[in-house]
Structures are given as C-alpha cells and as structure tokens.
Structure 1
Amino acid sequence: MDPLLGPVEGAEHQGVGGVRLDVTRAGSGRVKRAIYPPGFHWSKDMKPIVGSAHCMHAHVGFLVRGHVSGEYADHCKFDFVAPRAIVIEPGHDAWVVGKEPAVVIEFDYEGQTASRFGLPETHRHA
C-alpha cells in the first residue's frame, strides 16, 4: 500500500464528508494527515454537514500530493499543486482537481488555528 494513503500508526482515525483524517496530538496542537478524495468539493460534501456558507477553519501545512483549488467569499482564488506549503485562511470553498486524492499534512489548534498562527479570522487582502 502507498504509505501516504495507509493508516498512520498511533493516530486517531476519523472520517467526515468523504475526507479521511489521521490525527495525532502534539502538545496543545494537533498534526493531521487529511486525504481528500478525487471529486471532493467542500460546498457539496461538507457544507450540508457543517451548515456554514464557507469553511471557517484555517489550514496550515504541506500539500504532499494532489491539486487543490479554492475561492474565498470575496472571490479571490487560490490554486495549489503538490509539493508545496499551504496557508488557507478561514472563509473559503475548496475542491480537489484531477483524478488523484489531495494529501495534506496540517498543523492546527482546533478552533484556534487562525489566532495561534497569527492569521486573520476571515480572508483579507494585505
């Protein structure tokens, strides 16, 4: 099995909206491996579960495989192709581009990720 897609030993395994998560505690934060399947689109797969118009979580980490595009509420767009570091501010929609999953290693503080990393609570232009 591909080690990027296999289970992470010692991690808590979760799944929501078709996304597979392996979560490991690290002090007051978490390290997560998220596998977003081909065809995943936040507004289609997560919005009905979460109930908000946009994803209000900040994402800080590294895209190790795949292609992710997205758009903020103000119509500013982003496009990430692995391998690369990513920072996605709260208030976005995002989707997997292409036929392979997007694999992201994220560092977060649950509901405090934006503030702990010094990011705005919603997307804004510098």
Structure 2
Amino acid sequence: MSALDSRNIDTPDETRPFKDHGHMDIVTIGDFTLGKGTFEPGWRWSEDVKPIAGTESCQARHTGICISGRMTVRMDDGTEAAVGPGDVMVIEPGHDAWVDGDEACIMYDTGVAAYAKQH
C-alpha cells in the first residue's frame, strides 16, 4: 500500500449477502476495512447473520455511523438502544439487532473485517 490510497464504497472489494434482507459491501485498504451495510426491512441479526456467524449473538465490535433508517440493538444483558440517521455508534460484542420500520437502515461500519463472512 502506498502512502495514499483510496477506493470507492460503490465499487466494493466484496459484497457479503445476509441470509435475507440485505448485504454488506466491503472495502479493505491495507489493514483498514470499511463496510456499508444495507439492512432491509425485516432484517434481524439473529435470523439473517447468525446462520453465517454460527454464534449465539453478534461477536463483532462495531464502530460507525447510521446514514438512514433506524435499528434497535439489544445487548446480551438486555440493555437496548436505537440508532438513527446521524448517530455515531460503538457497539461492543454480544448483541442482537433489528431494523425498525419499513425503511432500509444504511450504516457505515469499521468493525466488519470478519462480519457476515462465510467460514
């Protein structure tokens, strides 16, 4: 990698489909990975990604921003929070999440190097 490198998220290095209800577009530059998640209405981690991840709850640490739509995140301890447009987030491992409403939730996330990746 040179001292300056850039790629456009609209031409991702890979696209990881969820079981249903969306996908994650991935761009990796050196050791930096960014994902653009499109979580369609009806998406729920425990239904759409759990079969891919093979864990009881999401074990990724997410850091990013919500661009559109809304999502609720429930931690394994029962704590819940909703994120919406403009919300910057840090979500630690050990959670489920789902799209609220009938608008797709679009998020940019740096915690996706192994997220929704077939093993």
Same fold (TM over 0.5): yes
Displacement of 1:10 in angstroms is 4.7
Q: How does 1:28-67 map to 2 (within 5 A)?
A: 28-67=31-70
**Match for residue 11 of structure 2 among 6, 9, 12:** 9
Query: Which structure 1 segments of 5+ residues have no match?
Result: 1-6, 112-126
Aligned to 2:24: 21
CA shift digits 1:22-56 (9 cap, x unpaired): 11112202111110110111112222332211000
CA distance in 2: counterparts of 1:89 and 1:11, whole angstroms: 25
CA distance in 2: counterparts of 1:13 and 1:41, whole angstroms: 18
Native 8 Å contact 1:29 1:109 kept in 2: no
Native 8 Å contact 1:29 1:108 kept in 2: no
Task: Name which of structure 1's ranges 72-81 and 40-49 shifts more when overlaid on structure 2.
Answer: 40-49
**Match for residue 97 of structure 1 among 71, 90, 100:** 100
Aligned identity (percent) is 28
Aligned to 1:121: none
**Which has a greater percent of helix?**
1
CA distance in 2: counterparts of 1:22 and 1:99, whole angstroms: 21
Displacement of 1:109 in angstroms is 6.4
Is the alpha carbon distance of 1:49 and 1:81 closer, same or farther for their aligned partners in structure 2, counting shifts above 3 Å? same
Is the alpha carbon distance of 1:76 and 1:22 closer, same or farther for their aligned partners in structure 2, counting shifts above 3 Å? same
CA distance in 1: counterparts of 2:55 and 2:107, whole angstroms: 22
